[in-house]
Amino acid sequence: MMNKKTFALIALTLATFTSASFAQRQMETLGRGVIAMRTSSTAAYVGWRLLGTDPVDTKFNLYRVTSGVTNLVAANVTNSCNYSDANAAQASAHSWFVQPILNGVTQANSVSYSMPANAAIQQYISIPLTPPPDGVSFDGVPYTMTANDCSAADVDGDGEYEIILKWDPSNSHDNSQSGFTGNTFLDCYKLDGTRLWRIDLGPNIRSGAHYMDFMVYDYDGDGTDEIAVWQRSNRTWTRPAIRDPTDAPRNTPSAVGPARYGSTSPRSR
């Protein structure tokens, strides 16, 4: 029969393993993600990110830089990561950053977000895109490309999200339908429209909502996000904006036959 000492030892062991499992939660390494949108000719909305590791009493100082002059817009902001700056004239260019205060200790300034002079009054950010070229599928059917699903990921490790965008051909098919399709493309864009890379998944991946799920996250905890996606032979990967000059663009098509559906493709990263 289990005595009290044995029971206490088992309980302590379970508690230790339970605490360790919670402590090992995999998280992305992100910055404050400061963003601003013009709401009127004199005001702008400013938002930023509260991290999962921030204490409950975290405070923020919000600053605006206009014409080279740094202004304290709000001090010790608590219980919110949103602020309406009522003194941001539309005729001038501005940038904003926050200064976190964690456990009473002032931290380094965040990365700034800049808004040009005469920015439009709108509640969204417009990202310029570079569509892939239209084409003709294996059965001779022409198709055009349309921006489709997207996700957010920090692929370059700067703490700011990029956008992973899927381009879908106009002849994509559900898995209940027969027929050939055009190629599916995945692009990675900075928020200013800079395209970091493009993956052409090739003719051996059938285009359609049920075939082309993709996921992005920092799976290995190295500070940069990875993408998990179906892939087959005859794909290409190009990088028009190369950060490391020693890292050349990649273009590795394989010699394969005519396009096939690719519906039995293994998932790979």
Q: Locate the domains of the chain by residue range.
A: 35-115, 128-269
Report pLDDT digits (tens) over 14-40: 555 444 444 566 788 899 999 999 999
Report whether pLDDT(247) > 70.
no
> Phi/psi of residue 227, each to 5°?
-120, 135
Range picked from 46-50, 53-57, 211-215 for highest mean pLDDT: 46-50
Q: How far apart are CA 121 and CA 90, in angstroms?
A: 9
Contacts of 12 (CB under 8 A, 6+ apart): none
33-37, 188-192, 218-222: the lowest-pLDDT one: 218-222
DSSP 8-state assignment for residue 102? E
43-47, 96-100, 160-164, 230-234: the lowest-pLDDT one: 230-234
How many angstroms separate the first and last alpha carbons of the chain?
A: 51
Alpha helices in the chain (DSSP H): 4-23
CB-CB contact of 191 with 125 (8 Å): yes
Q: Given this model, what pLDDT does residue 250 score?
A: 36
Q: Given this model, what pLDDT does residue 267 score?
A: 30
CB-CB contact of 188 with 195 (8 Å): yes
DSSP 8-state assignment for residue 232? -
Confidence class of residue 72 from pLDDT cuts 50, 70 and 90? very high
State the average pLDDT over residues 179-184.
88
Q: What angle do CA 25, 28, 29 make, to 5 degrees?
A: 120
> Phi/psi of residue 4, each to 5°?
-65, -35
Q: How far apart are CA 183 and CA 195, in angstroms?
A: 19
Q: Given this model, what pLDDT does residue 5 score?
A: 53
pTM of the model: 0.75
Q: How far apart are CA 7 and CA 5, in angstroms?
A: 5
CB-CB contact of 52 with 102 (8 Å): no
Quickly tell me which residue has 């029969």 as its tokens.
Answer: 1
Contacts of 177 (CB under 8 A, 6+ apart): none
DSSP 8-state assignment for residue 123? S
Report whether pLDDT(173) > 60.
yes
Q: Given this model, what pLDDT does residue 230 score?
A: 75
Residue 144 CB neighbour total at 10 angstroms = 14
Greatest C-alpha distance within the chain = 81
Report whether pLDDT(249) > 60.
no
Would you state the CATH architecture of domain 35-115?
Sandwich (2.60)
Q: How far apart are CA 59 and CA 251, in angstroms?
A: 48
Q: What percent of the chain has pLDDT over 70?
A: 76
The DSSP element (H or E) to which 191 belongs, if any, is none
